[in-house]
Amino acid sequence: MSINPEQFYVFKNLDQDQIQTFISACTEVILPPKYKILSQDGHSHKIFFLLAGKVRIFLDTPAGEQEISRNKAPTVLGEISFFSGEPNSANVETINEVKALAMPFDALRQRFEEGDRISSTVMLNMAEAIGQRAYVLTRKISALYGEQHEAQLSVIESSTKNIFRDWSLW
């Protein structure tokens, strides 16, 4: 299986041989439309590397189901739970048939602990992507402050403090 590292961010800085070595520890899966890959507040045990297809990410809220994103391959799912050890923050469901590689958390951790450079590179790339998402989120919140009328600013400020309250865990 040939994966283009320029198109799949988690494999950047790896050549095809290294990518093949990494994915040899994965299981290839084909998931049908409307298949729930991850359940909000559920505990994941696998990371999914989407090779083809589309997924939707949504939350179960008191107001009902709220879709927050649609993603297409190539992308990674389950990485936040992998790094945080927390339950899934959202639901992920396939929109169409999805082809993915699945790797158990334990297998990736074991490879990392054994000093596997390839797994370390993949993990660093995933962490970098999470950092980029956090940066974009902060920029979007900043833009909201500039777009809102005075009456709405207190709601944004309260929501922002609530969102970032847990970012000071260190």
Number of domains, the chain? 1
Q: What confidence score (pLDDT) does residue 104 get?
A: 92
CATH number for the domain spanning 43: value is 2.60.120.10
Residue 26: inside a domain, yes or no? Answer: yes
Residue 3: inside a domain, yes or no? Answer: no
Residue 1: inside a domain, yes or no? Answer: no
Residue 84: inside a domain, yes or no? Answer: yes
Full domain range(s) for residue 62 = 9-167
Separation CA 163–CA 156 (nearest Å): 10
Residue 4: inside a domain, yes or no? Answer: no
Helices 150-164 and 117-147 pack at an angle, to 10 degrees, of 160
* Among the ranges given (24-33, 37-46, 72-81, 130-139), the one the predictor scored with the smallest mean pLDDT: 130-139
pLDDT in tens, 5-30: 667 889 999 999 999 999 999 999 99
Do residues 54 and 70 make contact, with C-beta atoms less than 8 angstroms apart?
yes
pLDDT in tens, 76-122: 999 888 888 889 999 999 999 999 999 999 999 999 999 999 999 99
Residue 130: inside a domain, yes or no? Answer: yes
Q: What confidence score (pLDDT) does residue 170 get?
A: 43
**pLDDT (mean) for 67-71:** 91
162 or 58, higher pLDDT: 58
Residue 135: inside a domain, yes or no? Answer: yes
Separation CA 62–CA 147 (nearest Å): 27
pTM across the whole model: 0.80
